[in-house]
């Protein structure tokens, strides 16, 4: 197991945010977001983060590099529902020569009438819904393992 990061429930611990509105197609028969969609939300935020730092995923591929997911962890804390506005908080949490880890926090804005007294889910203005981590390797587009790009290990070293 490569997973070594404990995702924080404090939004201020994350360096990047990406907003997502829950679509009806992402919900299940219980009218909540199906568990598989959280990994899709993580991926969407990860792709946006890479573009934000000037290293879009399309450029990785053009450089002959891929970053396959080796492991993933999701902790479902409170369900998300159709049409909710979610914020995916993301941080490049750790990097070695061969792998990197991304940490995620999914929150939803808390309406005044929904004040939550549970300290595990109350972050002030946001309700904690999900936390997670993805572990990525680095390969060539031919599928051969390779070291992480220097810019990525340097970026990880600068993270708080």
Active site residues per annotation? 28
CA 44 to chain centroid: 8
Torsion of CA 145, 148, 136, 157, to 10 degrees: 160
Please give the helix or strand (H or E) that residue 75 lies within, else none: strand 69-76
Q: Which two tokens stand for residue 157?
A: 């070293």
Three-state SS string over 95-160 comes to ECCCEEEEEEEEEEECCHHHCCCCCCCECCCEEEEEEEEEEEECEECCCCECCCCHHHHHHHHHCC
């Amino acid at each position: 197991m490569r997973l070594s990061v404990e995702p924080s429930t404090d939004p201020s611990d994350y360096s990047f945010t990406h907003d997502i509105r829950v679509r009806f197609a992402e919900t299940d028969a219980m009218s909540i977001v199906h568990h598989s969609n959280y990994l899709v939300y993580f991926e969407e935020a990860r792709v946006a983060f890479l573009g934000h730092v000037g290293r879009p995923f399309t450029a990785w591929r053009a450089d002959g590099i891929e970053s396959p997911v080796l492991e993933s962890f999701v902790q479902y804390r409170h369900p998300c529902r159709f049409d909710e506005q979610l914020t995916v908080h993301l941080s490049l949490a750790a990097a070695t020569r061969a792998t990197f880890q991304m940490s995620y926090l999914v929150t939803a804005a808390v309406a005044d009438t929904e004040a939550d007294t549970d300290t595990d889910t109350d972050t002030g203005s946001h309700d904690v819904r999900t936390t997670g981590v993805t572990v990525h390797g680095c390969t060539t587009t031919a599928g051969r393992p390779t070291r992480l790009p220097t810019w990525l290990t340097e970026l990880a070293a600068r993270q708080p």
